[in-house]
Structure 1
Amino acid sequence: MPRLLLIDDDAQLGEPLAAYFARFDLQLEQATRPSDGLARLREGGFDAVILDVMLPEQDGFAVCKAIRASSDIPVVMLTARGEVMDRVVGLEIGADDYLPKPFEPRELVARITTVLRRRRAPAAADGRLRFDGLTIDPATRSVQREGSEVELTGTEFDLLLMLAREPGKVFSRDDILNHLRGHEAELYTRAVDIVVSRLRKKLEPLPAIKTLRNAGYTLALRAQQGDRA
């Protein structure tokens, strides 16, 4: 059963939400203070984090940065009032998804289920994808850039894998957003741009992702002989 950590200072939220999540075979635990949440994450054993933006001690953005400094665990942020800037900042610092408050518990379950599904290795891995300077292993969800391991979030990896499976194909922002969401959602193209920018920076100095104005993005690296062209 996947184990989730809710970091939210609303002590009344955890118990009913945990009971609801249990109906979907998800175990939810709560930390009401960031320091406690980070300490529990360091102990390990969690599969995803639900992180509120408005917290005591430090805000959720600082907590997300601290998590990303040592872990690629999926993070879904709860943003106050659905502010666009909260979403932008959250994605820029490494969150995998966001959900505005107030939210429907069923939608939060759907978001968590999606990020957990993306994190699992594919049932039928098709082997490593090799490009000039870049190797992608779908089975282990690992990436090497010029021989060095690259730490990617689940969302970043899935975006890269999507592009790598069809190198040279141009994916529109709508294509990418719907693929990463795993379900139809209100289009938020800025979110795609942010994730692409994060991924591109991590793959530097390789010129891996090319932007085609008013069209979308494509993987610009040459596939090595024996891999898909």
Structure 2
Amino acid sequence: MEKMMIDSPKILLVEDDLTLGDWVSEYLTEQGFTVMHCTRGDKVMACLEKFQADLVLLDVMLPGLNGIEVCRQIRQKMQTPIIMLTARADEFDEVIGLEAGANDYVIKPVRPRALLARISGALKQNTPTAEVSSDIQHGDLLINIEANRVTYQGNEIELSTSLFAFLCFLARHAGEVVDRDTVFKALKNREYDGQDRRFDVMLSTLRKIFNDDPQKPRKFKTVWGKGYLFVADAWTNEKQNLL
């Protein structure tokens, strides 16, 4: 019995290795996805205009334009989930990729079931929920959930989808220490594997964005061996705190 492809999620695969690209395309098509395969980084934006993908699988090393720069280009125009494909398991790709706006990453060689789990998690994260949306405010920080908008001290702050979701989660649990397993289950739909540092990287990125001293953080704290802490009373204008 043929699968109905009308409402199938659309994936743009950006991979210059034709053998790997053909295999991934065939596998994902068998799983019910509609796949477009692009082989050059400098062709991605044109492909997205035509294809309107629900998710982008993006290789790091590409001809024309590398995957990190492509990721930044995509983020300037849209919040489509991006999963990076990388042959490097070092921290450089993880840090730069996540700061560029990637939602997740998969290390080659690609394992079919692991790839499918990452794709499902990213699509679920990007699906609106029936939960009632409301603004979150702590001092000078205002988060408009419905509009995906963040302002701090009257200035609008641009955040990637992943950073926005992480900030919202921490702000909703202000004053609580949330462990990594809880964060992974809530935001990635899977358990923490004991090694993945993506949320440590994202916390560091949020500190940079909101001028929180990494040596003596006030807004975002890491409680060693326990998890992350969003400090609610640290978001009031510092000048007011001195009065």
Task: Give the alignment's TM-score, normalised by structure 1.
Answer: 0.82
Q: What residue is the counterpart of 2:12 in the other structure? A: 5
Aligned to 1:75: 82
2:99 alignment counterpart: 92
Change (3 A) 1:128 1:91: same
Shift of the 219–213 alpha-carbon distance from structure 1 to 2, 3 Å rule, reads closer
Query: Match of 1:211?
Result: 221
Once the 2 structures are TM-superposed, how far is the Cα of residue 76 of structure 1 from its aligned partner? Answer: 0.7
What is the aligned counterpart of 1:35 among 31, 42, 64?
42
Write the distance in 2 (CA, Å) between the matches of 1:208 and 1:153. 22
The letter for the 2-side match of 1:5 is L
Q: How does 1:132-211 map onto structure 2 within 5 Å? A: 132-188=139-195, 190-204=197-211, 209-211=219-221
Residue of structure 2 in register with 1:226 after alignment:
none
Alpha-carbon distance between aligned partners in 2 of 1:153 and 1:92, rounded to the nearest angstrom: 9
CA contact (8 A) 2:36 2:51 kept: no
1:122 and 1:138 in contact (8 A); partners too = no
Quote the Cα distance in structure 1 between the aligned partners of 2:59 and 2:222.
Answer: 35
How far apart, CA to CA, are the structure 2 residues paired with 1:213 and 1:12? Answer: 45
3-state SS of 1:66 partner? helix
Deviation at 1:203, TM superposition (A): 3.8
Look up the SS of the partner of 1:29 in the other structure: strand
Deviations 1:32-72 (A, max 9, x none): 01111132235572222111112222322232233333333
1:160: Cα distance to partner?
A: 1.3
**Partner Cα distance (1:77, 1:36) in 2:** 17
- TM-score, normalised relative to structure 2: 0.78
Match of 1:220 among 212, 224, 231: 231
Unaligned 5+ residue runs, structure 1? 224-229
Alpha carbon RMSD of aligned pairs, Å?
Answer: 2.9
Question: How high is the sequence identity, in percent, across the aligned residues?
Answer: 35
- The answer to whether the Cα contact below 8 Å between 2:86 and 2:105 also exists between their aligned partners in 1 is yes
Contact kept? 1:72, 1:151, Cα under 8 Å: no
Q: Which runs of 5+ in 2 are unaligned?
A: 1-7, 235-243
Counterparts of 1:149 and 1:19, CA distance in 2: 42
Alpha-carbon distance in 1 for matches of 2:158, 2:51: 18
Distance 1:96 1:64 in 2: 10
Count of aligned pairs between the two proteins = 224
